[in-house]
């Protein structure tokens, strides 16, 4: 129930940031809904396709799709408010990231997948929404360039997986992973933590 | 049978527009066949992957893939004729869009999916070919920016779904949806109908 | 066993070329691992998703994913060595291409798919890694523009398929396809073979 609430908050916040991105590219209302939905539920969709985990969440529960489309469609009217309160959205997005990571790990565990794949599942669920948004909007994929985002998802998943295996109980595992994952992401933002960057200037003959 | 004929016309027309796009990017013959096929059968492929609906149409019936490759390969020889008769292709594409929408809705209904998902299935089948083409050719995705395309697919699917539920019979539902979907698309082109556009100029710190 | 060895060599070489590409785009270490893995195992992943062939190789055997991530991560330290020895990598990549093509054909044959689809499976396995790399790195997809790459994969698959159907035995079919596929690719590189290019300069009103 806690996780479902955070999931809905997460997809709403992600849908709105996706819609802003569509607005920056001057898309029409359909484009706005499309990018909003891809950003919000793209991560879980890619994960389920990679694992052959059918039916997809939004196919079985179309109201999630309605939420992301509505969140996308109202964004044009509240865009300046969203822009002024971006810190709020960054916070909601961090909450959503932690929730997505736990859900992704849970799905892979329920399928009996390898521990490493459970953590990769957290990562995929956490990052692919933003990655799809950036590919569709034709901008450099943020999550591959800077900011601690993928690592937060991976660590949150690893923590949740370990706590469940240590038999601390579903609730404690969920709350602890949420708090630590959320705190990790917010700390990374505040202190500007990031991974080292690989710069390679290649002769043009190499590809 | 009618639907199959329109499907073949639709994938042929879409393959040719995809091939023209590949030609504008100076791709080689393989690139031409690849973009042609992705444009023509990409929509149904994405739909079937999202719904876990296997085997894919072109895997079970490889002759559809042969059709799109051949249509792509002959495009370089008839490119100037195609360019001069673009109105014909726009018409065939509109026919194909209506046919794709009905087929997409049919597939989802046969799988027993939620009514909203059946209409979304029409939309996915109708738009994802062009979306993949634009992503592969690295150009702004037309269908997210302007023109009534996605809405036509959605409305055609909604109409077909409703008529089937109203028990008017398969043939009447198909023909009525085809005629109205096709007419809606052609009217949208002629009168320049489009959805409102969301323009958002963001401070660069937002993403 | 031979094929497994070549597969590991192939994914290692492809992961390193993917990592170099990520370095040219100034990605961080996660981006490097991501692009490396997508380049190396993206082809097999796309093939298995298109055919509904679950579980994916790297989901069932996560050590392949570990190999590509490690190969990606060490690339920054050996980048100048890799760049100086690019001919070695081109050779390993050609070996990997032949191995990928045979594996792709084998998977499709084991699923009882149509002969043409078996050859298309070789092609998909061979090219989609590089295609995903280019899409993620936002550069023109090499394989659609020049160089004989897709055709090599297709021909290697066709040869393997024919030899198996001629009952020459698994080992002979594999070795012969490897040698000829590898030789074909190296010859194409050395002699600059390529497919004809389709150039089409369109009036801007066409799309």
pLDDT above 80 (res B15): yes
φ/ψ (deg, to 5) at A196:
-60, 150
- What is the rounded average pLDDT of the residues B95-104? 94
Residue C145 confidence (pLDDT): 86
Residue C67 confidence (pLDDT): 97
> What distance in Å separates the CA atoms of residue A5 and residue B71, rounded to the nearest whole number?
50
Contact C144 B29 (CB under 8 A): no
* pLDDT > 90 in chain C, percent: 80
**pLDDT classification of B207: cutoffs 50, 70, 90:** very low
* Residue A113 with chain C: CB contacts under 8 Å: 59
* C-alpha distance from A32 to closest chain B C-alpha (Å): 8
* C-alpha distance from A168 to closest chain C C-alpha (Å): 27
The structure tokens 């020049």 sit at C146
> What distance in Å separates the CA atoms of residue A72 and residue B198, rounded to the nearest whole number?
11
SS3 sequence of A99-119? HHHHHHHHHHHHCCCCHHHHH
Residues C42, C128 contacting (CB under 8 angstroms): yes
pLDDT in tens, A174-183: 999 999 999 9
- What is the rounded average pLDDT of the residues B143-165? 93
> What distance in Å separates the CA atoms of residue A15 and residue B35, rounded to the nearest whole number?
30
How far apart are the two ends of chain B, measured CA to CA in Å? 49
Residue C146 confidence (pLDDT): 77
Q: Residue C66: which residues within 8 A CB-CB, separation 6 or more?
A: A116
Residue A207 confidence (pLDDT): 47
pLDDT in tens, C153-168: 999 999 999 999 999 9
Of B32, B38, B25, B113, give the one whose Cα is nearest residue B78.
B32
Residues C14, C126 contacting (CB under 8 angstroms): no
Contact A146 C28 (CB under 8 A): yes
- What is the rounded average pLDDT of the residues C111-140? 95
- What is the rounded average pLDDT of the residues B56-60? 97
pLDDT above 90 (res A82): no
| B179: number of Cβ within 10 Å | 11
* C-alpha distance from B77 to closest chain A C-alpha (Å): 32
Across all residues in chain B, what is the average pLDDT? 93
Residues A174, A103 contacting (CB under 8 angstroms): no
Contact C145 B26 (CB under 8 A): yes
User: Two tokens at A36?
Assistant: 């909003």
Residue B202 confidence (pLDDT): 67
Buried-exposed string A133-146: b where 16+ CB fall within 10 A, e elsewhere: bbbbbeeebbbbbb
At A141 the three-state DSSP class reads coil
Residue C207 confidence (pLDDT): 47
| Total domain count, chain C | 1
Contact C30 A138 (CB under 8 A): no
pLDDT above 90 (res A86): no
Residue B110 confidence (pLDDT): 97
* Residue A152 with chain C: CB contacts under 8 Å: none
- What is the rounded average pLDDT of the residues B135-145? 90
Across all residues in chain A, what is the average pLDDT? 93
User: Two tokens at A22?
Assistant: 């569509």
* C-alpha distance from B159 to closest chain C C-alpha (Å): 28
Contact C62 A116 (CB under 8 A): yes
Strand partners, A66: none
Residue C73 belongs to what domain range? 2-191
* pLDDT > 70 in chain A, percent: 97
Q: Is residue B32 part of a domain?
A: yes
The CB-side HSE value for A162 (13 A sphere, CA atoms) comes to 8
The structure tokens 């009036």 sit at C203
**pLDDT classification of C202: cutoffs 50, 70, 90:** low
pLDDT in tens, A118-177: 999 999 999 999 999 999 999 989 889 877 899 999 999 999 999 999 999 999 999 999
Residue B83 confidence (pLDDT): 82
Chains with 3+ CB–CB pairs under 8 A to A are B, C
Q: Is residue C203 part of a domain?
A: no
CA B184 to each of CA B124, B144, C81: distance values in angstroms, whole numbers, following the listed order? 18, 18, 60
Residue A93 confidence (pLDDT): 87
Q: Is residue A203 part of a domain?
A: no
pLDDT above 80 (res C81): yes
Residue B143 confidence (pLDDT): 87
Find the residue in A nearest to C93 (Cα): A207
- Count of all residues that appear for chain B in the document: 207
Element (H, E) at C53: none
Q: Is residue B147 part of a domain?
A: yes
CA B61 to each of CA B49, B64, C114: distance values in angstroms, whole numbers, following the listed order? 16, 6, 9
Contact B142 C207 (CB under 8 A): yes
Q: Is residue A150 part of a domain?
A: yes
Residue B138 confidence (pLDDT): 92
Q: Residue C152: which residues within 8 A CB-CB, separation 6 or more?
A: C97, C98, C101, C126, C181, C184, C185, C188
Across all residues in chain C, what is the average pLDDT? 93
Q: Is residue C197 part of a domain?
A: no
Q: Which residue spans within B15-161 are E strands per DSSP? A: none
Residue A160 confidence (pLDDT): 97
At A197 the three-state DSSP class reads strand
Which site among C132, C144, C199 would you substitute to test the B interface, given the most B Cβ atoms closer than 10 Å to its Cβ? C144
Of B127, B107, B129, B123, give the one whose Cα is nearest residue B156.
B123
Q: Is residue A11 part of a domain?
A: yes
pLDDT above 70 (res C195): yes
* pLDDT > 90 in chain A, percent: 80
- A55 closest CB neighbour out of B52, B198, B206: B52
Q: Is residue C204 part of a domain?
A: no
- C206 closest CB neighbour out of B20, B27, B54: B20
**pLDDT classification of B203: cutoffs 50, 70, 90:** low
Find the residue in B nearest to C132 (Cα): B136
Residue B146 confidence (pLDDT): 77
Which residues of A lie inside 8 Å of C (Cβ-Cβ)? 49-52, 113-114, 116-117, 120, 135, 138, 140-141, 143-146, 150-151, 194-203, 205-207
At C28 the three-state DSSP class reads strand
- What is the rounded average pLDDT of the residues B79-99? 88
Residue B22 confidence (pLDDT): 95
Question: Residue B25 gets which letter from DSSP?
Answer: T
* Residue C54 with chain A: CB contacts under 8 Å: 51-52
Indicate the range of A90-94, A130-134, B51-55 predicted with least confidence.
A90-94
């Amino acid at each position: 129930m806690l996780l479902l609430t955070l999931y809905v908050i997460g997809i709403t916040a992600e849908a709105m940031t996706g819609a802003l991105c569509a607005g920056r590219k001057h898309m029409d209302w359909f484009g706005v809904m499309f990018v909003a939905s891809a950003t919000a539920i793209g991560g879980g969709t890619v994960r389920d396709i990679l694992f052959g985990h059918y039916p997809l969440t939004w196919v079985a529960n179309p109201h999630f799709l309605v939420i992301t489309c509505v969140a996308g469609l109202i964004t044009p009217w509240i865009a300046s408010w969203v822009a002024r309160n971006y810190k709020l959205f960054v916070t909601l997005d961090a909450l959503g990231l932690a929730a997505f990571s736990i859900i992704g790990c849970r799905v892979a565990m329920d399928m009996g997948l390898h521990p490493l794949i459970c953590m990769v599942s957290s990562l995929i669920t956490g990052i692919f929404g933003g990655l799809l948004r950036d590919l569709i909007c034709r901008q450099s994929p943020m999550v591959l360039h800077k900011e601690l985002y993928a690592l937060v998802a991976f660590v949150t998943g690893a923590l949740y997986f370990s706590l469940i295996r240590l038999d601390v109980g579903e609730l404690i595992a969920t709350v602890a992973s949420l708090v630590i994952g959320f705190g990790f992401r917010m700390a990374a933002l505040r202190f500007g933590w990031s991974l080292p960057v690989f710069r390679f200037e290649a002769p043009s003959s190499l590809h």
